[in-house]
Chain A
Amino acid sequence: MNDLISVVDWSRWQFALTAMYHWLFVPLTLGLSVIVAVMESIYLRRRTEQWLRITKFWMMLFGINFVCGVATGIILEFEFGTNWSNYSWFVGDIFGAPLAIEGLLAFFLESTFVVVMFFGWNRVSPRFHLASTWLTALGATISALWILVANAWMQYPTGMTFNPDTMRNEMTDFWSVALSPVAINKFSHAVMSGWALAGVFVVGVSAWMLSHKRRREFALKSIKVGGWIGLAGILLTAWTGDGSAVEVARTQPMKLAAMEGLWRGQQGQEILAFGILNPAKSAGHDSVSPYLLKVGIPKGLSLLARHDLNAFVPGIDDIIDGVDRDADGNVVNTINYATRIERGKAAQQALRDYSETGSIEALSELKQNYSCFGYGYYDSPEELVPPVGLTFYSFHLMVTIGAYLIAFFIAVLLLAYKAPNWFTSRPWINWVCILSIPLVWICSQCGWIIAEVGRQPWVIQNLMPTRAAISAIEASSVRLTFWLFAATFTVLLVAEISIMLRQIKRKSLES
């Protein structure tokens, strides 16, 4: 059992490592591909040498980043098999389809046209080249769509049924999987955040050029394109983030409670603008205060989660106890966690009986309790609480940086149009732009921490615990590959950053 836990932990560490490295590069690919396509479109319209140089410069940085995304992405796809083999069987019938569609629709589009983008300047017509640049951006976006459909399904499993004969879940409604509201929100939220991230990157790099008095017009034009796309991206990210919060409240209330560090909810629940959690707080201890310090916005969480200032938002202990309230404040009893665990164990026993005897009664019992199947792997409700601290701080950091980015883009665009000289006469403005680059990456990573850590201990919400999803390998093997990947990715990241810095420096000196 201890070894199993260790394999689970190391497999989670490895997946988190590869996913987080992957997500360093992917949002920049998503956003920069669109920015480059817009720049090339402007070039084709105006046919000036400067727009060609601007396009080629950002395209070069796109290329350096793109390959790192590709390198880290292949590991992720295959890790579902290597490290989460039980998962691959239990839900492969549903989960495999979006992955295959991603490959067929998106990867080929990207890999075919990215070559034209880089090597086709003198081999195809300008219009064909522009079309290739847009198709590369489209390929990257379609890729994001299908992998996020797959991820959304893990948060909100739908469109499937359990087949007791094969002991796995099987798809029954493809459109329900592909077009679930969770998937739509997740896709638009993630892609738009990529636009915002790339916008900050373009503004930050351009600001560095301006701070060194290099290529003023080049940098200002880049700031305008990056600024507009970044602003559009961050505003749409905020809008889709609101949609995501509503979906989380509906489908994963425990995650929402963890995001807010909320143990007991109420009607007109406040949202924290700032807070420090009390580490001594745990499930079932109402006498312990959940916060050491907090600054709240009245009724904020009710508004965010249910679009109603007076709505009830359940806390962690409420959910464990099965307590919720309707719009009028009346108590609505949901199934408490102790009962879910009982029903989960009953479902598992029924499946055992069915597979041994083929009994119809067992099958009926299984169907009746299958919605709680995953709970049967647990013995106490406390095991079903996600890591509150990490989820809480990630959420608040993400929202704070996100709000800052809205102001950032508005300010940058105002300066670029109304007072461009400020970029050269006031160095602190450039420093703000440059220092915003790491901030936007932190914001982006926090988003994924909320999504994945907040779902724990489930790998598929309510159906499969993370610990039941693993492969039968030794912890030592996973530990070794973890360090192998950590070393490899770090070596590559160092090289990528070094190349980017050198290229930015070198190209900014060209006349």
Chain B
Amino acid sequence: MITDLQNYWWLLISVLGALLVFMLFVQGGQSMILCTRNEKMRQMIVNTIGRKWELSFTMLTVFGGAFFASFPLFYSTSFGGAYWLWMLILITYVLQAVSYEFRRKSGNVYGTMFYDVLLVINGVGGCVLLGVAVGTMIFGAEFSVTKGNLLNASQPIISTWDNPLHGLEAIASWRNLLLGFVVLFLARTQAGIYILNRVAYSRDFYHFMKRRVIVNSCIFVVLFLTIVVVLLTSPTYHALSSGAIEVRAYGFIDNISECPLIPGVMLLGVVLVLAGIMRAATGKRFRFATWSVGIGTVLVVMSLFWLIGYNDTAYYPSLTSPQSSLTIRNSSSSEFTLKVMSWVSVIVPFVLFYIAYVWRRMDKHHLKIEDATGDHSY
């Protein structure tokens, strides 16, 4: 029974993770605001994506909360260990939260440009650093877990990080960074398509954004193919039936061959993302492109989580103490808590429904320049 609940919760984590990456289009848009040709263009971008920043922000907090409730050992090990990585992520989000509201308000002390720079920091930093954090879940991190430490009065801490840089070393890892930049360019591509779909402004703006979509999507595709190769050639850490962990070369290829649903969903996602990009780059069907890239992104990220967490794979491998690696079996909450949380999760469809309903009501009409410069604008 508990294994079913663990599987279910990993599925929910994968859904929330996928929606978080999808919502990063807000950050992707923010990363572009300093490169606009004039102030009005910047206003259009900020006001198009800005009306979704709370959802993007909330997605991160809910993702964190759900991880805490379902896999607390990951929460305590990764957050307490990769301290600087998570702190940097959080600080970029703090900056985002105030910047939209404050940027054009009179009396904001530091000027609009200051807040726009903060938005760019969150746009670039948020995407890359979250990608790095997910990278540690694929390529491993340096930590040990010794539960018996709880009884050591002088150092009663069960999870210890084995690198004194506390997460900065993860940022310096080229594989993690590669994933970070994949996330960044995906977010920028999504943002470009979303803005094109939402905005009715000038031809100049249209061409400007379309060029951004083409350039960013090309970079994304190259980086994505590279990370796929890196992923498939990386070793994985697998839990044996005894609970012991063994290292397997090309373990992800094993997972793919043993769980055909994973490559199937991933492939479908990739096709949808590419189809959306092609539509946006070559035509004007941005509505289709937005849906296609959005759904494709969710499917790819979900299947990535399945790839790294199911089939007894350690979703948080320890490079320094492999037996400390975290799997969905050894790091989850108790059966009772997972069951309670599963009942709570019944409301997820309802939540998604009202979000979709409000999104549709608010995005019914194209955004015009008056919407981006009037009293009710950022």
Contacts and interface: CB of A to CB of B under 8 A. Distances in A.
Interface of A: 1, 4, 63-64, 66-68, 70-75, 77-78, 80-90, 92-97, 99-105, 107-108, 110-116, 118-124, 128, 132, 163, 166-168, 170-172, 174, 348, 351-352, 355, 377, 467-468, 470-474, 477, 481, 484, 488, 491-492, 494-496, 498-503, 506
Contact of B100 (A67, A81, A83): A67
Contact of B83 (A68, A170, A473): A473
A469 to B, nearest CB: 9
Contacts of A96: 65, 68-70, 72, 75, 333, 337
A74 B76 contact: no
A249 to B, nearest CB: 31
Contact of A100 (B68, B73, B155, B336): B68
Given A78-B79, A107-B58, A167-B147, A101 B72 contact: no
Interface of B: 51-52, 54-55, 57-58, 60-62, 64-66, 68-70, 72-73, 75-81, 83-84, 86-87, 90-91, 93-95, 97-98, 100-102, 105-110, 147-148, 150-151, 153-161, 164, 166, 333-334, 336-337, 340-341, 344-345, 347-348, 351, 354-355, 358, 361-362, 364-365, 376
Name A's interface SS. Answer: helix
A400 B221 CA distance: 65
Contacts, number: 282
Contacts of B55: 108, 111-112
A81 B64 CA distance: 10
Contacts of B154: 1, 4
Contacts of A377: 153, 156
Nearest to A173: B336
Contact of B90 (A78, A101, A124): A78
B292 to A, nearest CB: 24
27 contacts: A67-B97, A67-B100, A71-B95, A75-B90, A80-B68, A81-B76, A92-B75, A96-B72, A97-B333, A97-B337, A99-B68, A103-B58, A103-B61, A103-B62, A103-B65, A104-B66, A108-B62, A111-B54, A115-B52, A123-B361, A128-B361, A163-B334, A472-B155, A474-B164, A484-B87, A492-B94, A499-B106
Q: In terms of DSSP, what is the predominant structure of the interface of chain B?
A: helix
B131 to A, nearest CB: 17
A471 B81 contact: yes
Nearest to A348: B151
Contacts of B66: 100, 103-104
A70 B108 CA distance: 18
A71 B76 contact: no
Contacts of A473: 80, 83, 161, 166
Contacts of A468: 150, 153, 156
A495 B98 contact: yes
Given A89-B76, A108-B355, A484-B87, 15 more contacts: A71-B98, A81-B78, A86-B157, A92-B72, A96-B65, A100-B65, A103-B62, A103-B64, A108-B58, A112-B355, A115-B51, A115-B52, A167-B158, A471-B81, A499-B108
